[in-house]
Structure 1
Amino acid sequence: MNTTQHLSSLGITMAQCSSYIAANMDKPFTLFYEAKRHKIDSQMLADIVQDRFPGVSATQVEAFFSGYGLRGKDLNAATLNPAPVVQPWQGDNKFKSLFSFNDNTGALSTESMRDTVVAKVGWDKYIQTFSPKNIPGAADGVLSVADLGFKQLGDIAATWQNMESLLYGTISQVGHSLSRKEAQEIYDFTQKNSFWIQTKNPGVMAQFEKLMLDAFLDPATEQDPAVLSDDQIADAITNALISQVSLVGIDSSQNLFSNLNVF
């Protein structure tokens, strides 16, 4: 937001503000605290007084107030109006390396799973479910690597079709990663530590999280194949999605990817 726009949001013009400053140059404390109160930073003040002090800079404005014992740097734009910190969409997701588009066929194809879910929830709700509008950075129509928080797909268009493919592809990959041996290890651990897991013992939960991460990030192999079939994975995905949309409903402020737990 530039100086004119900011002043307009306060209901005043550049000319009015310039006249006010000129009338109160002998009251630096008043000018300083009014500027802070209305979030008018030093660069904006420099813009406002250009008609009277051509070429004055934000640094000089800050020095003017510092000369009266005030903290002129408090009016610096970065201090007074800091840019909001935008977190990448999946920047802290431990499974972000698994995010991928869906190129599966058969039961795990996008078309097959879409038909199953749409038959239960309807087309309108289905489209709404995959809207990217609440993903940081989607407003310009492109989700960059910085917006996404992972880089393996590069920049992608912010469309519901891409979000649909991304969800189906990612969860399918997670399902394919869980091998028979890993599934047995997880089962044995939960049976042995069921009480500590229920009470969320920090030490046990840390071990459990590592076990789960290792299981899903380490792909299944021919020697240790996936424990779930394509049909089982497809059923898990579609049933969870149907439940999320039709029973719980879509909270537009939330992230479907983080709420949808199918395994």
Structure 2
Amino acid sequence: MKDNDNVRLIINKTKYLIIGVGGLIACGLFVSTLMLNIDSPLICSFAGSRNDPANAQLETVLHYATSRMVPQQTKEEIKLSYDVLRKRAPCNFLVFGLGLDSQMWNAFNPGGKTIFLEEDPKWLQNVLQEAPFLRGEYIKYRTQLTEADELLNSYKFEPDCDPSKGIPLKQNEKCKLALNMLPDEVYETEWDLIMIDAPKGYFAEAPGRMAAIYSAAVMARNRKGPGGTHVYLHDVDRKIEKTYAEEFLCRKNLVKGEGRLWHFLIPSAVNTPAAKSKSFC
């Protein structure tokens, strides 16, 4: 009898072991299936999706808490746009440049649309690998810093640069200051805030920020929705940035300056007398 009991015990243990291993395998397959479908509501309920604003903010806190690299703008400069974002978010926020502060800007606009335009494809790839929740687009400019003075003197003689004509940026081939190579979504969105902190503008072959400033002014003037467009321009201590800001963004629209950052509030020119003017200012 004792031998029969031992055999029965061994059989029962083996049966339970098989059931246990089978259960673990089933659980593993279930979890693997969910992980492959990362957007599953069940996964989102306890892990958060990659596009979840709360998840992005947590990733941002972790990033800055463990990094020695800090944003290039000072705290006082950052606060100019932060104060507006606190009131307007969630909103549409367009940023020229993808940099050390990109995760911060994205986190300041939870639930809104924040798109970064970057001229360096390798840098774009590196940043998005580290922060895949950011939305970055590669763009290739058609200007060089050496052309800045010539473009400023000649744009008034090019009819397609005339703001009163209302020529869409996307279709504007003749005006070299018009950014006509941007993704369709950029043209189709009315931007509440535009930050110009790129492209590079500190050596002769660099694209310079001439086209970014001109195009931001055009986008703001063509706004159809209520309110104006907040435009922020960094590095106004440099001649080109300052000169182009005064030509296209206009001193009368300057709200405040802090350090090397100017904050403009550009009114819409649609259905107003200003729309008929051939001058931006």
Q: TM-score range by the shorter chain?
A: under 0.3
Greater fraction helix? 1
Which has the larger strand fraction?
Answer: 2
TM-score by length of 2: 0.24
TM-score, structure 1 normalization: 0.25
Question: Structure with the greater relative contact order (CA < 8 A, sep ≥ 6): 1 or 2?
Answer: 1
